[in-house]
Amino acid sequence: MKPLIGITAEIREGNYFLPPIYSKVVIQAGGIPVLIPQIPDEDIQEMCNQIDALLVTGGEDIDPGYYGQEPHVDLGIITPRLDRMEYLLVQEFLKQDKPYIGICRGLHMLNVVNGGSLYQSIHTEREKEVIQHKQKAPRTHRAHTVKLEKDSRMFELLGEDEFKVNSFHHQACNKVPDSLKIVATAKDGIIEGVESPEHSFVFGFQWHPEEFAWDGDEPSQHLFKSFIDAAVKRKELNR
């Protein structure tokens, strides 16, 4: 049986919003996408029990109260109810050790749940010169270079140690806890990828590999296929 892949949705003007690209790449890789709406706290564990893997997508900024900071003047829109639900979802998913991919905001949430912090606005909080991380180009355009550690599981998945990625963010991981390993960085030092040595399949990406996978990029397609394969293995453990 195909695995069920939970995908969190943004909330815009009171409506759920999910770009179709996320569902497309899950289907392309062999999974069944399931949109996760806002659900009560008491239903979080049951949701995590039912789905076989979790994909936390890009979206708005995370409330800095989750990592002990006051809101910066350049903090963007926050969605408090979504923040809480995703925080509890990721927390429970890590507890159950089920496959997880966090993209952009999903990377940030993974870091925050593990006790890390964020730059609320990289262009005003960092002293170093910062390259353009919010590109003004099509979503499949590869805007800047990322360096990937060769001794990482992410390198095993993607098979490249230096390549260009797309970029659509103004926040980034700042302090990263020991429970996560930094495995990819941009040339200006911005963290582009992390993984968890303590879990079977937990990765966070600052860029958007779903765009490349749907566009035919083989390394990105292999990433999502590996994600689905990991979900199948986890599903079989529950039988």
Which residues are marked as active site? 104, 208, 210
Residues 189 and 77: their CA atoms lie apart, in Å, by: 25
Residue 225 host element (H or E):
helix 218-237
Residues 18 and 237: their CA atoms lie apart, in Å, by: 30
Please report the beta strands in the chain, taking only residues with DSSP state E, as ranges in sequence order. 4-8, 10-12, 15-17, 32-36, 53-56, 100-103, 118-119, 144-148, 162-165, 172-173, 181-186, 191-195, 202-205
Residues 70 and 109: their CA atoms lie apart, in Å, by: 17
Q: Helix %, strand %, coil % for the chain, to 5?
A: 35, 25, 40
Type of residue found at 191: I
Residues 103 and 157: their CA atoms lie apart, in Å, by: 16
Residues 212 and 163: their CA atoms lie apart, in Å, by: 12
Check if the beta carbon of residue 212 is closer than 8 Å to that of residue 25: no
> Tokens 């390259």, residue?
131
Instruction: Return the CA Rg of the chain.
Output: 17
Q: For residue 44, what is the DSSP state?
A: H
